[in-house]
């Protein structure tokens, strides 16, 4: 069964731009990510999502899970749990490893659920 692939447009716009901010992600006292190289993805009326390059993520805290989702605008998402000595936060991180062309810049970057992890965004200056 094929899944629909939709193209962003006036009814459902998506933009991906460099974010001129510093994004710090924490799980309790543990820094999961810290970057000034995030991309800001704005999809329709949803809140901005920051996609962080893997080099700016503490990979030792991530464990890939079997969970996955599909977005007709972005493609298949893979998920990771954040594992610290204090807790495991299930499926708190996602990535589009082969996103659709309209959002190609987010390829292999990771994003974070703000209701599961502390995501702080501050001016990069």
Instruction: Enumerate the domain spans of the chain.
Output: 14-123
Q: What is the pLDDT of residues 77-122, one digit of tens each?
A: 999 999 999 999 999 999 999 999 999 999 999 999 999 999 999 9
Task: Label residue 2 by pLDDT band (50, 70, 90).
Answer: confident
Closest CA to 23 of 48, 50, 43: 50
Q: What is the CATH number of domain 14-123?
A: 2.170.150.40
Q: How far apart are CA 33 and CA 30, in angstroms?
A: 9
Q: Are 80 and 64 in contact (CB under 8 A)?
A: yes
Task: Label residue 3 by pLDDT band (50, 70, 90).
Answer: confident
Q: How far apart are CA 77 and CA 67, in angstroms?
A: 9
- Please name every residue paired with 64 in a beta bridge, in sequence order, or none if there are none: 80
pLDDT in the model for residue 52? 98
Residue that the structure tokens 């987010």 belong to: 106
Q: What is the pLDDT of residues 27-81, one digit of tens each?
A: 999 999 999 999 999 999 999 999 999 999 999 999 999 999 999 999 999 999 9
């Amino acid at each position: 069964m094929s899944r629909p692939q939709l193209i962003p447009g006036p009814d459902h716009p998506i933009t991906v731009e460099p974010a001129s901010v510093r994004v710090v992600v924490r799980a309790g006292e543990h820094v999961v990510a810290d970057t000034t190289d995030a991309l800001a993805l704005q999809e329709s009326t949803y809140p901005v999502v920051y996609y962080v390059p893997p080099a700016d993520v503490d990979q030792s805290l991530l464990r890939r899970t079997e969970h996955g989702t599909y977005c007709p605008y972005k493609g298949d998402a893979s998920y990771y749990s954040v594992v610290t000595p204090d807790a495991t936060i299930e499926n708190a991180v996602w990535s589009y490893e082969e996103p659709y062309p309209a959002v190609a810049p987010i390829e292999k970057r990771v994003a974070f659920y703000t209701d599961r992890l502390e995501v702080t965004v501050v001016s990069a200056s």
